[in-house]
Amino acid sequence: MESVLKRSNKYFSDTSDFIETHEDSKRTRVMAMDDVNNIISQKLFNHRLAILSGFWLPLHTLSHKLETIRDTQDPNIPALIPLGLKERGHFRTCDHIVLGIIQNGHMYVLDSKLNPLHNFDYSAKIKALSTGFQDISDRTNCGRYVVNTAIQLGQALDHNPNSDLNQLVETMQRPNLMKIQREYAKYMW
């Protein structure tokens, strides 16, 4: 008679194949807002920018919150703010991180996804920009793309704080996702 253990091996593979290490999970899991803030502040700490700590907020409060931040910032210094958007509507149930930018008194939201609903999402006071780096079905890498975008923009705005954001976004290079997953994992908890 065949043992129960031998029979079970026919139906169950070795579970060690599926155990993900902590280091592996840092490359594949959703980045926490604290991780996004940590990386951006470390990479851009000596740039002439206002780097504000990111936070989560319901989408419907975004315009008011950006206006409040804009009114307290020096208009001559661009500000970058990671923004975690919650409660984005019935069809978009997952949370999403975008980059808020305040430059010369104007407010922008830079999304790593192409957002066909930007006219409905944001008030007329906010200009929506998109890099299109993130696939529409990707629900885990928005924080990584925001970090990469903030670093690229921060370096450009440090040299010229009045740069045309539309032009900067158009000339940005799409990062290699696996590369930034590995690189940013070093900063994650």
136-176 pLDDT tens trace = 888 889 999 999 999 999 999 999 999 999 999 999 999 99
Q: Is residue 121 situated within a structural domain?
A: yes
Quickly state the pLDDT bin for 15 (edges 50, 70, 90). very low
Domain count, the chain: 1
- What are residue 85's DSSP bridge partners? 57, 96
Q: Is residue 178 situated within a structural domain?
A: yes
Percent of the chain with pLDDT over 90: 63
Q: What is the structure's pLDDT at 86?
A: 87
Q: Is residue 11 situated within a structural domain?
A: no
73-82 pLDDT tens trace = 999 999 999 9
Q: What is the structure's pLDDT at 77?
A: 95
Measured CA to CA in angstroms, residue 66 lies from 22, 60, 124 at distances of 36, 12, 13
Measured CA to CA in angstroms, residue 5 lies from 8, 14, 16, 152, 175 at distances of 5, 12, 17, 55, 48
Measured CA to CA in angstroms, residue 98 lies from 9, 17, 19, 70, 86 at distances of 46, 35, 31, 17, 11
Residue with tokens 């690189």: 183
21-43 CB burial, b ≥16 within 10 A, e <16: eeeeebbeeebebebbbbbbeeb
79-86/50-51 β-pairing: parallel
| Domain housing 172 | 28-185
Close Cβ partners of 53 (under 8 Å, ≥ 6 residues apart): 37, 41, 81
Q: What is the structure's pLDDT at 9?
A: 53
Q: Is residue 18 situated within a structural domain?
A: no
78-117 pLDDT tens trace = 999 999 998 766 556 678 999 999 999 999 999 998 877 6
The whole-model pTM stands at 0.83
Q: Is residue 69 situated within a structural domain?
A: yes
Q: Is residue 156 situated within a structural domain?
A: yes
Q: Is residue 21 situated within a structural domain?
A: no
State yes or no: pLDDT of 62 exceeds 90: yes
Q: What is the structure's pLDDT at 1?
A: 53
Choose among 183, 178, 142: nearest CA to 42: 183
Sign of the CA dihedral running 117, 83, 62, 72: negative
Q: Is 84 helix (H, G, I), strand (E, B) or coil?
A: strand
Q: Is residue 2 situated within a structural domain?
A: no
State yes or no: pLDDT of 6 exceeds 50: yes
* CATH classification of the domain holding 82: 3.40.395
What mean pLDDT is reported for the chain? 85
